[in-house]
A and B are shown apart, each in its own frame.
Chain A
Amino acid sequence: MAEPVPETGETLEEDRRGEEHESSLGLRTVPEQTSPVLGAGPDGLLGVEHSDKTDQFLVTDSGRTVILYKLSDQKTLGSWSVKQGQIITCPAVCNFQTGEYIVVHDNKVLRIWNSEDVNLDKVFKATLSAEVCRIHSIQGTEPLVLFKEGAVRGLEALLAEPQQKIETVISDEEVIKWTKLFIVFRHPVLIFITEKHGNYFAYVQTFHSRVLSKYTLLLGHEEKTLIQSFTASVDRKFISLMSLSSDGSVYETLIPIRPTDPEKNQRVVRSLLLKAVVSGNARNAVALTVLDQDHVAVLGSPLPASKESLSIWNIKFQTLQTSKELPQGTSGQLWYYGENLFMLHGKFLTVIPYKCEVSSLAGALGKLKHSQDPGTHVEPHFVNWEASQGCGLGCQNSEQSRRLLRRRKIEVNLQPEVPPSKQLLLTIKKDSEKHIEVELRKFLAMTQTPDFHAITGDIVTGLLERCKAEEPSFYPRNCLIQLIQTHVLSYSLCPGLMEVALQKTDVHLLQLCLQQFPDIPESVTCTCLKLFLSIGDDCLQETDVNMESVFDYSGTVQDEKMEEQTKILQNGFNPKEDNCSNCDQELKEKPQDTTKETTSCPVIPKRAALLNAILHSAYSETFLLPHLKDIPAQHITLFLQYLYFLYLKCSENATMTLPGIRPPTLNQIMDWICLLLDANFTVVVMIPEAKRLLINLYKFVKSQISVYSELNKIEVSFRELQKLNQEKNNRGLYSIEVLELF
């Protein structure tokens, strides 16, 4: 699994290590750090733009300076400043057709220079008649100048006649908030968003047909929200405009590139894309950038109190791909050029390379699993599928249906139907514990529908939600027990149940769960085991535990039987013939102790019942072993003693079984002894109390090996006998026999 994203400011060596680890996941998140940018005040930067050479970027700060920066060398290639008193008002861009740089200062003064120029004062200058909002320059087209009034000019045309009259496109008080240039079918398309009194408008200017279309952005039912950041991507017919609202969610609006009716003011609706990616009422600035068709990067605080962080979301699967904390704060600006994310972190311009892999469900789920890992920092933002379905544009399960809905641009309000079985869920939300119990009993008495188990799961989930909300007063223990005893529940249907029971140290409930659930994760099994071993005897006495798996072990064993028992322990192998055992002799010195140790059960019956439930539960060795290592040594010893005791009990009869209704089987006992020893051998071997136990076990294993080696010898003889037998049966290839049919 991926390591947490390394912090900025770490040494280069550590970064490399990070890279190696991340590359296995396909994510490269190596922070690179530029030299401090002068004047990067609280307003941040004016912009970061691509230069005509890959790996070189133009960084414009909000003061007077433009810096050309080479990323791979982490080196400044050039720096240009305007005179004192002048101020750059528009980020510098590169004219990809000529290789020159263009910047605007004091709103109206255009400067064009190239990398050989030293002084910005002495380069080409053109004073325009209107204030410039942005210059857009992308590969494959001439730079376009967008004026604050909404007019657009090509650079060539503008320079031919700098003082030409610039018309006003947008109305008074309308302010351009965000703008972006695309190339669609080799023709540039400019989109800019304006705001006026909380209303947002999108303008799409196509240069091929010189059409400007205006759209009103409808915000849906969250009319009051502010849009904090925009980003957009384009496909053949639509501009997909994504906006990050002040409620912390990302919305998507589809704006057609070719308007159906350019004259009319058209309205476009937005649909919810990701819910609550950043904290809704964060004071810090937030930013959103689309990385590719499936990924967006979001800058902001995931929780109101938390530090700002950069997170990459997979829109397709609605999963968090990766995230990185930026503790020194950001300016709420984010740029993405050629697989590099640029942002201001503290006072530094930080560049994080990030390559979007083709999004696969496996990758997405892998990350989810990682963040669920208990050890690591739990990411707070997971999409609640139910909620996401309920609001906005309904079902977003599949890409296809979502697209379809968006294409139609119909706002669908799903009216959630209330099926009769949900009635109980409503009861659970509000009513008293007693009432719930009555209702539940009624419900369980009804005939079982095919989706009974799913409904039962929902009910448990409902109960648990309330448990968590109203801790510690609300704990409907009886209801939960009843529900578990329906035999339809499994761990995956109600993952929170055992967690709650563990919190409440409700061992009876845990025992039931262990008995009923087929799919308990090993970590949970082990947590239960820890609890069962550590809980005090007096606590246990008060609880009500199902004792059917425990036979009354104490006191039934007579002294006579003990003799037999030790014999069986040897398993038919005579230890006297064993010529190489020092421990054997040591053991013989205190035979009385041994018997005493083994006759009495080392745990009280209630604990034994609980431990038996653990023995019965299913597990996978590889997953269980690491968790077993966490159990304290004295508990391990106790459990081993109990298991050894069970083994001795097993050996008392010929069938090697224990009395009782559902006793642990010999295989279970043996497997657990092996598991415990595998996990904790180095610890156990150091404990003096465990020494005798280990010697006993060692002796047992040795006798087993001897028996099996003897058996192997017999097997050879058996095989020969079998061969002889087969030859007798095999009548050869031809025979004449007598057959009488009656």
Chain B
Amino acid sequence: MAAAERGAARPTGDNRTSRRRRRRREHCLRTSGLEPGALPGQSMRARAHVWPGRREAGAARGMGEFKVHRVRFFNYVPSGIRCVAYNNQSNRLAVSRTDGTVEIYNLSANYFQEKFFPGHESRATEALCWAAGQRLFSAGLNGEIIEYDLQALNIKYAVDAFGGPIWSMTTNPSGSQLLVGCEDGSVKLFQITPDKIQFERNFDRQKRSTIHKMIVDRQYMGVSKRKCIVWAVAFLSDGTVISADSAGKVQFWDSATGTLVKSHLITNADVQSIAVADQEDSFVVGTAEGTVFHFQLVPVTSNSNEKQWVRTKPFQHHTHDVRAVAHSPTALISGGTDTHLVIRPLMEKVEVKNYDAALRKITFPHRRLISCSKKRQLLLFQFAHHLELWRLGSTVATGKNGDTLPLSKNADHLLHLKTKGPENIICSSISPCGSWIAYSTASRFFLCRLNYEHDNISLKRVSKMPAFLRSALQILFSEDSTKLFVASNQGSLHVMQLVEGSFKHLHAFQPLSGTVEAMCLLAVSPDGNWLAASGTSAGVHVYNVKQLKLHCTVPAYNFPVTALAIAPSTNNLVIAHSDQQVFEYSIPDKQYTEWSRAVQKQGFHHLWLQRDTPITHISFHPKRPMHILLHDAYMFCIIDKSLPLPSDKTLLYNPLPPMNESDVVRRRTAHAFKISKIYKPLLFLDLLDERTLVAVERPLDDIIAQLPPPIKKKKFGT
């Protein structure tokens, strides 16, 4: 019956392809500068002579056919955003989430999430702020003020403010003092010293709520009406106080007289957050309906100096509460319960109308949460407080492009590994052989041995981890699963030998003298000889694992590294940066490869450079050394180094099926980048073997389904 159906459907399908083909041909001709009416045969022949040597380059073969394990059971839900803080000096954005995670985004580096501090169950952050010298502080409901070490990527210290939960925190304009607003109603002033903070004085609760109390702190308190809560206030240097409250109003007050100057009723729901631009000519508020409003100080009439605050633009990029907003000189930044971080550039402030002026919506972390055991076809999913191990299913059927194959065995959930303690998992990894799982929290490193006996799995923790292995930023197993590489947050790299059920510490590569930068990305060559490690800013270091010494350092590049991998056989190190550049560096030769130089010379296709999610994973085809497979959240790409690079005029993304035409036209349009956008949002993609891919998707709808319901808005007819 299926065959009959297919047979019936075929004619129309063929018609469609032939129609497409016709359109496609016209397009090709147009791009080659020929009239559609010109004789195609002639032009093809003429072209054929141009590249006689490339005929066998495999263009006709295409990139191949794969069976794809399309996985959507990674039940990952990002935590809601609680605070955002923008630092103008470094153009970085700190974001804290409801689970206590703090992320640092580098807005200059294509909005890359370059650092993160893992969350902690008891450390709900309620306030986040930058102080002088680009120091980051957070405060939260456990009553502690925390400073983060942005180099070593750990918590420098935590100081109890002794005022109960802290609801708000801010610095003075010079960034030398810290003020916190505590649950007990007190406001405490801390002096920021070069290496700590020191309590200076306590401002006690005022008997009457005076305007001045509103100035220094952003804590919740009821004013004006009985049920109205002021969620956020801002104090401008001209003495204006702006308040945002639960009645949906944004109000302007004169702090000298305490009078209400102007009131804007902007929503029926709460106005929850406010952020003012440094110039104080513009500010942004976020509401519980997910709307962000932009207010600007504009002249009353064009020829007067008198200015007034005007609500200018509403933006609806969120579905849920906008809990936090920030205002960079060129953009409005908002985040909230719906977990998206939205960066909305202000068109009038953007000088060059390039792709930077586009809206950014960051939903997924810019790091891998998934690792894969190719041998046993296992996937390890990392959640905040647990790991899940799944075995992929299998099929015996075959099919043609686009078919869904009947499963002979479904995917199995093998293991649910819950961490003890309140800390979030920083990183995790499963060995290629599937016998080892390693993961780490901020204070403990865990290594487990898995035993498979038919369908039963037993897990045995390896005890007695060495004292220096307390916390890891990245864990990597060698291809043969005999070695374990751990990047610790002290900047050192540990190499461990794994033997049946136990391990042996082989060596620790210490960080270069004078640097404390933590390594976040690791890559090991399949032959196990080379280890590449990268921090957030310095170059990529390549170590010789056999000789246990530093082999070379790839020159530092302006943009942080987002993914690293070493190709089999050639030992070429492929590095992807946050500006979407991809470099190939030959480790044995200690220089960039010819191909990489050629790419840099010609430049990447403009559309390639305009993608807005970073490449998070690079892998290689075991049988095709010329292929590099890489992916970001919305596409994966196989780069065939043997093919010519696309120029800006050619079509970068061409999902259309092939045409039954001569090789020559195909070759005319074939280029090195074969992109597929079928799987999205794509969190992980790798080759299990030469004919099998695994793709882990996380559809946004599934995330939204797990969020609390948004404020219901009345629609017509409902």
Chain A positions within 8 Å of B, measured between CB atoms, are 358-362, 397, 450-451, 453-455, 731-742
Contacts and interface: CB of A to CB of B under 8 A. Distances in A.
Interface in B53-104: 62-73
Interface size class of B (residues with CB under 8 A): 35 or more
Given A454-B302, A732-B72, A734-B71, 8 more contacts: A450-B302, A451-B303, A733-B411, A735-B407, A736-B68, A738-B401, A739-B678, A742-B658
Contact of B400 (A361, A738, A741): A738
Nearest to B657: A742
Interface of B: 62-73, 257-263, 301-303, 306, 393-395, 398-405, 407, 410-411, 638, 656-658, 674, 676, 678, 693
B446 to A, nearest CB: 28
Contacts of A453: 302
A738 B411 CA distance: 17
A620 to B, nearest CB: 14
B550 to A, nearest CB: 39
A360 B260 contact: yes
A481 to B, nearest CB: 23
Contacts of B656: 742
B70 A737 contact: yes
Contact of A738 (B73, B402, B658): B402
Contacts of A451: 301-303
B403 A737 contact: yes
B638 to A, nearest CB: 6
B405 A736 contact: yes
Contact of B259 (A358, A454, A737): A358
Given A358-B257, A454-B302, A742-B63, A734 B70 contact: yes
Given A454-B303, A738-B67, A360 B261 contact: yes
Contacts of B72: 731-734
Contacts of A740: 62, 64-66, 400-401
Nearest to A451: B302
A107 B394 CA distance: 120
Contacts of B404: 731, 735-737
B693 A739 contact: yes
Most chain B beta-carbon neighbours within 10 Å: one of A361, A740, A741: A741
Contact of B301 (A454, A733, A742): A454
Contact of B73 (A362, A733, A736, A741): A733
A455 to B, nearest CB: 8
B297 to A, nearest CB: 15
Contacts of A362: 259-263
A645 to B, nearest CB: 27
B668 to A, nearest CB: 14
Contact of A360 (B67, B259, B303, B400): B259
Given A454-B301, A454-B302, A734-B70, A739 B259 contact: no
A173 B257 CA distance: 46
A736 B66 contact: no
Contacts of A735: 70, 404-405, 407
Contact of B67 (A734, A736, A741, A742): A736
Closest 9 CB pairs of A and B: A741-B63, A451-B302, A740-B401, A360-B259, A742-B62, A733-B73, A740-B65, A454-B302, A742-B658
Given A732-B72, A740-B62, A742-B62, A361 B259 contact: yes
Contacts of A736: 67-70, 393-395, 404-405, 407
A733 B393 CA distance: 12
Contacts of A359: 257, 259
Contacts of A738: 65-68, 398-403, 405
Given A361-B261, A397-B306, A451-B303, A734 B410 contact: yes
Most chain B beta-carbon neighbours within 10 Å: one of A359, A362, A742: A742
Contacts of B676: 739, 741
Contacts of B65: 738-741
25 contacts: A358-B258, A360-B257, A361-B259, A361-B261, A362-B260, A362-B262, A450-B302, A454-B301, A733-B71, A735-B404, A736-B68, A736-B395, A737-B70, A737-B404, A737-B405, A738-B66, A738-B67, A738-B403, A739-B65, A739-B68, A740-B62, A741-B63, A741-B65, A742-B657, A742-B674
A453 B303 CA distance: 10
Contacts of A733: 71-73, 411
Contacts of B73: 733-734
Nearest to B71: A734
A367 B258 CA distance: 20
Contacts of B67: 736-739
Contacts of A734: 69-73, 393, 407, 410-411
A425 to B, nearest CB: 13
Nearest to A360: B259
A735 B395 CA distance: 10
B405 A741 contact: no
Nearest to A362: B260
Nearest to B66: A739
Contacts of B263: 362
A401 to B, nearest CB: 11
Contacts of B401: 738-740
Nearest to A363: B259
A163 to B, nearest CB: 52
Contacts of B71: 733-734
A741 B62 contact: yes
Nearest to B75: A733
Nearest to B59: A742
Contacts of B407: 734-736
Contacts of B262: 361-362
A360 B303 CA distance: 25
Contact of B674 (A360, A454, A737, A741): A741
A125 to B, nearest CB: 50
Contacts of B638: 741
A361 B399 CA distance: 75
Contacts of B303: 451, 454-455
Nearest to A452: B302
Nearest to A726: B701
A741 to B, nearest CB: 4
A731 B64 contact: no
Contacts of A397: 306
A397 B68 CA distance: 72
Nearest to B64: A741
Nearest to B408: A736
A453 to B, nearest CB: 7
A693 B657 CA distance: 62
A740 B638 CA distance: 12
Contacts of B69: 734, 736
A725 to B, nearest CB: 14
Contacts of A741: 62-66, 638, 674, 676
Most chain A beta-carbon neighbours within 10 Å: one of B301, B398, B402: B301
Nearest to B257: A358
Nearest to A359: B259
A187 to B, nearest CB: 28
Contacts of B678: 739
A263 B412 CA distance: 103
A732 B70 CA distance: 10
A397 B301 CA distance: 14
A733 B74 CA distance: 9
B344 to A, nearest CB: 26
A94 B676 CA distance: 97
Contacts of B393: 734, 736
Nearest to B638: A741
A739 B674 CA distance: 13
A739 B695 CA distance: 11
A360 B257 CA distance: 9
Contacts of B405: 735-738
A713 B658 CA distance: 46
A384 to B, nearest CB: 16
A664 B63 CA distance: 58
A254 B53 CA distance: 97
Nearest to B305: A397
